[in-house]
Structure 1
Amino acid sequence: MKKIGIGICIGIMCFSSFFSYGNEQVLPHHHQIQKGSASYIETINQEKNRYVNYGDGYMIDYPSHMEVDTSLEAVRTLIKDQEREIEIYYDNFHNTPNSAPAYKNYSNAFIKNTKDHIKEYENTATINGMKVHLLKWSRKKLSKVSNDKNFYVSAEIVKNDKEVYTIFIKSSRQFYNFEDYMDVISSFKIIEKKGNPSINTKFKPVERKLNEETKEFYYKYFVNSDKLRWGIFEQSAPASFSYLKGIENRLDYEFKFLVRYQSLDVPMPLEELKNAYNNNRYVELTLQTMHMNEENESITYDILDGKYDDYFEEYAKKIKEFNHPILFRLNNEMNGDWCVYSSYYSSKDTNLYKEVWKYIYHVFEKNGVDNVLWVWNPHDLSFPNFKWNHYLTYYPGDEYVDIIGLTGYNTGNYYPGEIWRSFEEVYPHVYNEYMDIFEQPFMITEFGSNEIGGDKVKWIHEMFDYMYMHPFKNIKVAIWWNGIDWDPLRNPARIYRLDNREDVMDTFRQRLKDYK
């Protein structure tokens, strides 16, 4: 990840006021962190600096040798050195059903997994007049993580029932005493908010070594493409094309892109990819690092401790053997707690998700894989919708991502709390936000509309209308998810299929004519 303004003091700002710290008054020596940033650093003494964030309304002291990263200031501030990382978050739950107690309980639910987490301390304290929940825990060192920071402290600082600040400290060594982390936490103070925090970076594609066919594919369908192409998830394909070709004949449209999901229970589906290629199709190969019908709460730790080395080595060799272009989508929708590789299950530490990504990437690299385009794909809504679970905290870095995936569904209203969302309520906002942040090409990796809760045909027409009137020029591929989500009693809860109703099929057949 490119970091702008990390540990560099640019520009001197002069202020006439004094800041009070304890019994000491310090004439601020201000260092602006980032152009457009709502924060700055002031020097207190040789050992200590103060970070002041006007956008989120707080200030905190930290050892002066540490670097400050405000690249994701609207999400978090990161203060770090080689040994320790301090993440600071501000959550405002006004106009939402969330609350400070719910945030504290849900954020720390991972600690119930006593197999992988050792709770060392938990208590409630009062710091600078505010109620603070303190939790200290550890886990074992992971063999695949360099300089693994496996000792943790988090402090949820409650401003009121709807506003919470979180200080999350990770360390590669044990905390020797209470003051080892409380010096930073106890320095935290709330100040008046002025201005708005922002995202102060732009993520860009990095040229990678690809074989000629994959490079040609990437430029044809993504980099230089001015045409939207449609794909489909149909469960029987690419193992078999008999059913899919029946759909395509009825629609008079051939879907160039297919989706193949898999878990760790099966090897890389080499024969299915060959079948797709022989039928002139490309596959978005979606590997989700989990087991079906098994407990998976330890899976991130197990991968990073080397328990799946043989699996990934063999996986990489089969991808190399295939040697044709693959859209490799790893651990999609990671910001959703329905995914066992979400940090909700692993110490709320999004670094571990990124470590899994980089580990698998380097296994591929070691095996000479040069036919893979890496697709990084959050969900448009984060569950839980907490800042530490924000999708940007999962971004593994420019050198590891070729394509940005967008996923947002109209889930309908089968389940309590879900609402019918039009296409215009889902995609324009996500697209515009991503365009401000990412320079890689985009694809809608999977999406669809339920038919429970509204008019599905109308939804599809409005989708095509919007995409025609307001083309998303950076979205190169859109893949319809032709399936059903079932409730626990095996009743259809979200019916996304396009082939179960003639009126839906007629609509797609009519509107896909524009994309031939």
Structure 2
Amino acid sequence: MKRKGIILTIILIGLALGIWYATSTNQPIKIALPVQESVGYAPYQHKAPDLYSLWKDEAASKSLQPAGLDTIVAQGDRNQYSNNQLSFSMNIPAQWTIDHHQPTEYVRFFSEDFRIDVTYEDTTKAYSTPDKFLETTLAPIKEFEVKRETSQHNEFNVLVVDYKRPPISKSFDHFTTYTYLFAYNDKDVYTFQLKSREDVWSNRRGELLQSFKTFAPVPYNPVDLNKDMQSKPISNELVAANRNYHMTVPKNSFVQGIYHKEFEKLTELENETSTRFGSQMIYKSIQNEFDPYIVQVLEDGRIPIVSFLFETPKNAKGTSPILSEIISGKYDKYFVNWATNTKRVGGPIYFRIAGEMNGEWTIWNAVHNYNDPDLYKLAYRHIVDIFRHYNADNANFIWNPSGTNVPFVNWNHATMYFPGDSYVHVIGLSGYNFGKSQWSEWKTFDEVFGTLYYDYLRYFSGKPFIIGEYASGESGGNKTEWIQNASSLLKSKYTNIKIAVWFNEKQGEEFNFPFTSSPESTQAIQKATTTEGVISHPITKSTKEQIENKIRHQDKK
């Protein structure tokens, strides 16, 4: 016993000296949290994806779209649907549920065994033509095609394309059969995509073709969609009182975050540049286990953001198996590991799940997945469901599209990938000023985020925002002024953005994003991270009172 007491005393003295050294030299205190193999937790029982629940959740999601953009008129056992933004009307069966919460981008007709997504393109606005649009849309699914038919409907050419993809699993994936119906003239294209359970596909296809006989264009109604968003400033707050850590980002304030490739050296960077970042983002492949460094981020008073990447090679056909593999449970052991260890941490952790899904450079984009955004949404929801199964209520989920839809077609619009209000805590925005190059022009912060910000306020009501990635290059303008302007606008105009993550990595020789690219830009970031209204230490240790207040708040709900 005496020997054990001596050893314990030595350990405590060593720990005290370590803490003294770290604090006196402003070095980070390394906190070790052994990664556990989900010990004490029952194995996760894989569940079949539920498309009908997904579609219902999407339809129930809140938006702040202006009134009068579409109408539904009951006509016995039919409904007359008309939309003055997508510029069409059609008579449909009354038993079809209508999802029209995003009437400026798409409308969906659905039931338990099918959905039909309707989008509209004025191809002149995309510097394209109907032929190029059809080529872009049909190229990814060419080898899965089963049949093509052409016809005429009034002044429109009509192309019907049937295709079928391989099932994710023969035991539960039966929604593998699709039909495209395109109605087009010399500039306009209306796209109807039917996705159906295989056993009822023929009937649903027939119903689509029968309903399409009543299709007619209607005049577009030009309205200022974002007028209300611009006249009513919105600012949510981020608050969490978890078991071990408390987080507060009040209204009308934000946290300056950073992605730094050598993430464990962030404190060194701060010491060298006299900066302080209140949030840190790290990237992780879905085949990584929980990283104990997350605890260090919390101990440093920062909000940790884990950006999951769905990384695997594309197969020879140009499609990627990754979404099907996630949905089928191939990577469940990694998500269970993250969920159970996240719960153990007892502090707020934000997970940015496979961002920029509307960009074809990601293999989780629809062009690599049979032109079906549902597969991304099912994979996203599958991950969230695992965290919820293990009661990791300190996990928060960020849904973060790219600021640009590529390909630039409305069936690839960001809203098509939204997994439903109940699966998203925070909406992410991404955008860059690439500067002057052969591909780009210098853009101000307003030019990068202005329209996008107000569009997202309209699309996604009641959600706080984060900028998941932003930065400025050097060529063609003043990077220092750009940083200063961004910081000022984040506090005064873009008040619903609660965290802004600077992407501090050089991209090739042309895009010099690190804020240390010049002494002046370094000074601009230093000022931006320490000025009033920027929360530099949003994470603190939880008190008993904070946890009790959280319980009372939950009870009121």
Which contiguous aligned blocks of 4+ residues in structure 1 show a shift greater than 6 angstroms?
144-147, 202-205, 207-210, 292-296
Provide closer, same or farther for how the CA distance between residues 466 and 413 of structure 1 changes in structure 2, counting only shifts above 3 A: same
Question: 1:213 offset after TM fit, Å?
Answer: 4.4
Question: 1:230 offset after TM fit, Å?
Answer: 0.9
| Alpha-carbon separation, structure 2, partners of 1:142 and 1:294 | 15
Residue 516 (structure 2) pairs with residue 499 (structure 1): yes
| Alpha-carbon separation, structure 2, partners of 1:507 and 1:209 | 30
Question: 1:312 offset after TM fit, Å?
Answer: 2.4
Superposed, 1:29-44 pairs within 5 Å as 36-43=67-74
Q: Which residue of 2 aligns with 1:399?
A: 422
Instruction: Note the alpha carbon deviations across 1:225-282, whole angstroms, 9 max, x for none.
Output: 4432211111111xx22xx23331243222121111012343232x221332343333
Q: Which of 261, 279, 284 is the aligned partner of 2:305?
A: 284
| Alpha-carbon separation, structure 2, partners of 1:360 and 1:145 | 20
Superposed, 1:409-420 pairs within 5 Å as 409-416=432-439, 418-420=440-442
Q: Which has the higher helix share?
A: 2
SS of residue matched to 2:517: coil
Instruction: Note the alpha carbon deviations across 1:321-374, whole angstroms, 9 max, x for none.
Output: 333321111111111111111222222222222111111111111122122111
| Alpha-carbon separation, structure 1, partners of 2:66 and 2:171 | 33
Q: Which residue of 1 aligns with 2:469?
A: 446
Give the partner amino acid of 1:57. S
Q: Which residue of 2 aligns with 1:235?
A: 261
Contact 2:286 2:331 in 1 (8 A): no
| Alpha-carbon separation, structure 1, partners of 2:484 and 2:495 | 19
Instruction: Note the alpha carbon deviations across 1:87-137, whole angstroms, 9 max, x for none.
Output: 11111233432222221111223215x5xxx32113433233312232211
Q: Which residue of 2 aligns with 1:188?
A: 215
- TM-score of the aligned structures, taking structure 2 as reference length: 0.75
Provide closer, same or farther for how the CA distance between residues 403 and 342 of structure 1 changes in structure 2, counting only shifts above 3 A: same
Question: 1:197 offset after TM fit, Å?
Answer: 10
SS of residue matched to 1:493: coil
SS of residue matched to 2:472: coil
| Alpha-carbon separation, structure 2, partners of 1:513 and 1:277 | 19
Q: Which residue of 2 aligns with 1:249?
A: 271
| Alpha-carbon separation, structure 2, partners of 1:84 and 1:173 | 10
Tell me: higher relative CO, structure 1 or 2? Use CA pairs within 8 A at least 6 residues apart.
2
Provide closer, same or farther for how the CA distance between residues 453 and 5 of structure 1 changes in structure 2, counting only shifts above 3 A: closer
Provide closer, same or farther for how the CA distance between residues 210 and 467 of structure 1 changes in structure 2, counting only shifts above 3 A: closer
SS of residue matched to 1:136: strand
| Alpha-carbon separation, structure 2, partners of 1:411 and 1:148 | 44
Q: Which of 283, 287, 301 is the aligned partner of 1:261?
A: 283
Question: 1:166 offset after TM fit, Å?
Answer: 0.6
Q: Which residue of 2 aligns with 1:508?
A: 525
Query: Which runs of no fewer than 5 residues in structure 1 stay unpaired?
Result: 7-33, 487-491
Q: Which residue of 1 aligns with 2:7?
A: none
Q: Which residue of 1 aligns with 2:16?
A: none
Seq. identity, %: 23
| Alpha-carbon separation, structure 2, partners of 1:208 and 1:150 | 42
SS of residue matched to 1:477: strand
SS of residue matched to 2:432: coil
Q: Which residue of 1 aligns with 2:391?
A: 368
Superposed, 1:50-129 pairs within 5 Å as 50-112=80-142, 114=143, 118-129=144-155
Contact 1:228 1:477 in 2 (8 A): yes
Give the partner amino acid of 1:336. G
SS of residue matched to 2:407: coil
Q: Which residue of 2 aligns with 1:27?
A: none
Q: Which of 142, 160, 177 is the aligned partner of 1:151?
A: 177
Give the partner amino acid of 2:489. Y
Give the partner amino acid of 1:152. Y
Contact 2:314 2:320 in 1 (8 A): no
Question: 1:198 offset after TM fit, Å?
Answer: 6.5
| Alpha-carbon separation, structure 1, partners of 2:235 and 2:313 | 35
Provide closer, same or farther for how the CA distance between residues 511 and 321 of structure 1 changes in structure 2, counting only shifts above 3 A: closer
Superposed, 1:216-227 pairs within 5 Å as 216-217=246-247, 220-221=248-249, 224-227=250-253
SS of residue matched to 1:65: coil
- TM-score of the aligned structures, taking structure 1 as reference length: 0.81
| Alpha-carbon separation, structure 2, partners of 1:475 and 1:44 | 45
Contact 2:307 2:351 in 1 (8 A): yes
| Alpha-carbon separation, structure 1, partners of 2:496 and 2:118 | 33
Provide closer, same or farther for how the CA distance between residues 59 and 510 of structure 1 changes in structure 2, counting only shifts above 3 A: closer
Of 141-150 and 166-175, deviating more is 141-150
| Alpha-carbon separation, structure 1, partners of 2:520 and 2:88 | 56
SS of residue matched to 2:198: coil
Give the partner amino acid of 1:230. Q
SS of residue matched to 2:82: strand
Contact 1:72 1:198 in 2 (8 A): no
Give the partner amino acid of 2:84. Y
Question: 1:157 offset after TM fit, Å?
Answer: 1.6
**Superposed CA RMSD:** 3.4
Provide closer, same or farther for how the CA distance between residues 147 and 60 of structure 1 changes in structure 2, counting only shifts above 3 A: farther
Provide closer, same or farther for how the CA distance between residues 357 and 506 of structure 1 changes in structure 2, counting only shifts above 3 A: same
Query: Which runs of no fewer than 5 residues in structure 2 stay unpaired?
Result: 1-56, 537-557
Provide closer, same or farther for how the CA distance between residues 211 and 147 of structure 1 changes in structure 2, counting only shifts above 3 A: farther
Q: Which residue of 1 aligns with 2:367?
A: 344
Superposed, 1:175-214 pairs within 5 Å as 175-176=201-202, 179=206, 181-194=208-221, 211-213=242-244
Contact 1:265 1:292 in 2 (8 A): no
